[in-house]
Amino acid sequence: MRLAVEDLACNRGERRIFSGVSFSLSPGAALLVTGRNGAGKSTLLDLLAGRLHPAAGRVALSEAGERTLPECLHYVGHRDALKSALTAQENLDFARDFLGDPALESRDALAVVGLSHAARLPVAYLSAGQRRRIALARLLVAHRPLWLLDEPTSALDTASQAMLMRLMEEHRDRGGIVVATTHAPLALRDAKEVRIERAAPPPAPGEESP
């Protein structure tokens, strides 16, 4: 699968958030999306995921067979998107059945992220870091070549961050693509970087453009 983004722009209401974002990603690539708070990093992931429509530009997918872009991606956002009343395993079982193209069994995915002991515990009883690891374990229960990760190290301790780095590199070694927003450095080899800058506001009436 290959992903190309051409001169992408996004509006929020009447205001332009960013514009002119372009990049292309081939199998095994990683892209780090950086920028100040509010610049539009999470919005860019929403555009890539098809959750928002661009104001200009386009997102093009190629060499993906019959699959659409949403069918090719995993999205892990700021919210862990877990059902608190369900156990860790039940949450992953649901994701595995819903997403299709199953990969690891839920218990095996929990073992990879170090949460075998929490398989039968309701998510409501788990810490923020544990819930984050369960959300990341969804990446392992279904085959999806494109991982869109919004601040993926949030709430993770040092050991869990190292585990995540290993999972991302293994995914890339299999030909997968990783796009991650981040404030902190992510030690992904040969990663590209796109910095999102907030678009300048239009001049007030009577003022000249800079």
For position 155, which CATH number holds?
3.40.50.300
Query: What confidence tens digit (pLDDT) does each residue in 17-62 have?
Result: 999 999 999 999 999 999 988 889 999 999 999 999 999 999 999 8
Q: Which structural domain range is residue 110 located in?
A: 2-195
- Any residues with CB less than 8 A from the CB of 95 and at least 6 apart, and which? 138, 141, 142
The two structure tokens encoding residue 178? 């990783």
pLDDT at 209: 47
Residue 182 in domain: yes
- Structure confidence at residue 67 as a pLDDT band (50, 70, 90): confident
Q: What are phi and psi of 41, to 5 degrees?
A: -65, -50
Q: Is 171 left (phi over 0), alpha (psi -120 to 50) or beta?
A: alpha
Q: Is residue 200 part of a domain?
A: no
47 domain-assigned? yes
**100 pLDDT higher than 50:** yes
| Helices (H), ranges, 51-152 | 88-99, 106-112, 128-141
Report if residue 201 sits inside a domain: no
The answer as to whether 206 is a domain residue is no
CA nearest 54: which of 86, 98, 19, 102? 19
pLDDT at 129: 96
> Would the pTM of this model clear 0.75, i.e. be above it?
yes
Q: Is the pLDDT of residue 207 over 80?
A: no
**Percentage of the residues of the chain whose pLDDT score is greater than 90:** 79
Q: Does a structural domain hold residue 17?
A: yes
The answer as to whether 207 is a domain residue is no
Is residue 209 in some structural domain? Answer: no
For residue 73, list its beta bridge partners: 146
Q: How confident is the model at residue 155 (pLDDT cuts 50, 70, 90)?
A: very high
Task: Compute the half-sphere exposure of residue 197: CA atoms within 13 Å on the CB side of its CA.
Answer: 5
Is residue 195 over pLDDT 50?
Answer: yes
Count up the domains in the chain and report the number: 1
What's the N-to-C CA distance of the chain in angstroms? 41
